[in-house]
Amino acid sequence: MNMDSRRVVITGGGSGLGLACAEAVSRAGGTPVVLDKDISNAGAYRAHELDVTDRAAVQRTITDVAEDLGGLDAIVTAAGMDTPGELDEISAEQWEQVLAVNLLGTVSAVRAALPYLKESHGRVVTVSSTLALKGASGATAYSASKFGVRGFSQALAAETAGTVGVTNLIPGGMKTKFFDGRTEQYKPQDDSRLNEPARVAEAIVFALTQPQNVEVREMLIAHEGEDSWP
């Protein structure tokens, strides 16, 4: 798989799946650009501090990146978070923050990149979750946000067919910091059934390197013992 110097913006690229994606894109010969609130682990990659809930900052930053690079070839929206808890246990502000990051942050980033992707016949990879297929107790906000990302992706694919490729990635649990700081109730009970983010990132590169006229519209990637699907 060869990225041929393709320019790829990655939200949430400072850690976890996003950073693994930056590494995979770079290994394949592409140019990753990391956008994250914390870019301390971005190393030598081009990186910009960014809160994806700040729509104006998202628009400004992605525009600046695209103008600096002479365009964009892809965007991967890996920024995500969760505050687990039953609906009457977490505040409305916490609940809405999950949607702001996961769903609205995805939309803002794609909206900002879209004019450049139309010029390059580029690609979008959005990141939902197995909880975009089946809701779970203690995850009303997360499931709602990821169901939204999946629906957004399907509609965007229909809107941009033949102009911009759209892939929705549906990953199961991964070995990242995503589960740090949770109570035992909301932590995976068996870490051996979590995927390595590097393996999932390779699938993203696979989607980004398909030949013209071929699109991977949806990919579900999970450990063989994943218990959040089906």
d(CA 171, CA 190): 17
d(CA 55, CA 20): 25
| Residue from 122, 123, 131 nearest 103 by CA | 131
| Rounded-to-5 percentages of helix, strand, coil across the chain | 45, 15, 40
The catalytic residues are 128, 142, 146
d(CA 151, CA 132): 9
d(CA 119, CA 47): 23
37: CB partners within 8 A, 6+ apart:
14, 49, 50, 51
Residues composing the chain: 230
24: CB partners within 8 A, 6+ apart:
198, 201, 202, 204, 205
Tokens 């693994």 correspond to 20
d(CA 111, CA 116): 10
